[in-house]
Amino acid sequence: MAVESLRKTLGMALAVCLVCSILVSTSVIVLKKKQDRNREIERLKNILIAGDLLEKENNIEKKFQDKIKAAYIELKTGKELPTAKQPPAIIEIDKGSDMAGIKRIPAEVNVYFVKDKGRLDQVILPVYGKGLWSTMYGFLSLDFADLNTIRGITFYEHGETPGLGGEIDNPRWQESWRGKKAFDEKGQVKISLAKGKAAPTAEHEVDGLSGATITARGVQNLVRFWLGKYGYGPFLKRLREEKING
């Protein structure tokens, strides 16, 4: 009798464990889909923020489709590609050139064009690189008229310290980038972060991050890397040449 009772108890315990494991597995799958979708919406929202195109946080996907055209480019040549390769080839960055601290980059990436009244108005570029505690992922927008004036910057994923390096999320700090020049008159990447507040007349300098020197240096380095020859330099050069040649 005791043996039969033990068997029933073990059987019930196993059944409960099986049901619980199924419920947990199902929840993980369902939640992962929801989390992936939320991450994608956040990414699209930040593309809109970088271009100063987000008025209200609703219908983000429709706003993105209405205002933005994605293009797939080869970083080495700057040429637009007809389709994306899956998975894209990877380029190793030598240590001396890897100011963003990312070691490798995809050979092909998406960029985003913004049209206003039928003409190209901005180009929005994905950027990322190492901060103090994390890899910081964001978007940088350039005015299409000169491919130099910064229209906006935003970060949508990072693990920097709240109140210090985490201030890269602060709209007031992001505002200090607007209107600054990314390149000097010779076409060299010049944008930098000040140690404190940038002077209003400093066209290549934005506000620093108080108490977050390493994060600030990381932001400066990642922006310079992605605007340089290993990043979007060839792409921006091609766009400038096309504008000159009509």
pLDDT digits (tens, 9 = 90+) for 17-70: 666 666 666 655 656 777 888 888 899 999 999 999 987 777 899 989 999 999
Q: What is the mean pLDDT of residues 117-122?
A: 90
Judge whether 188 and 138 are in contact, CB under 8 Å: no
Work out the pLDDT band at 240, boundaries 50, 70, 90.
very high
SS3 of 43, please? Answer: helix
| pLDDT at residue 143 in the model | 97
Displacement of CA 14 from its chain's centroid (Å)? 46
Judge whether 155 and 46 are in contact, CB under 8 Å: yes
* Mean pLDDT (the chain, rounded): 89
Domain that holds residue 154: 49-245
Asked whether residue 166 is assigned to any structural domain, the reply reads yes
Work out the pLDDT band at 99, boundaries 50, 70, 90.
very high
Q: Which residues contact 90 (CB under 8 A, 6 or more apart)?
A: 104, 105, 106, 107
Q: How far apart are CA 187 and CA 104, in angstroms?
A: 25
Asked whether residue 3 is assigned to any structural domain, the reply reads no
Q: How far apart are CA 61 and CA 66, in angstroms?
A: 9
Distance, first Cα to last Cα, the chain: 93
Asked whether residue 37 is assigned to any structural domain, the reply reads no
Asked whether residue 35 is assigned to any structural domain, the reply reads no
Asked whether residue 17 is assigned to any structural domain, the reply reads no
| pLDDT at residue 11 in the model | 63
Q: What is the mean pLDDT of residues 179-204?
A: 94
- Counted domains in the chain: 1
AA letter at 78: G
Asked whether residue 207 is assigned to any structural domain, the reply reads yes
Model confidence, pTM: 0.85
| pLDDT at residue 20 in the model | 67
| Helical ranges in 121-212 per DSSP H | 171-175
Return the minimum-mean-pLDDT range out of 81-85, 88-92, 202-206.
81-85
Asked whether residue 23 is assigned to any structural domain, the reply reads no
Bridge partners for 68 per DSSP:
114
Which tokens in the block code for residue 191? 């944008």
Return the minimum-mean-pLDDT range out of 13-27, 133-147, 230-244.
13-27
Asked whether residue 16 is assigned to any structural domain, the reply reads no
Q: What is the mean pLDDT of residues 68-91?
A: 89
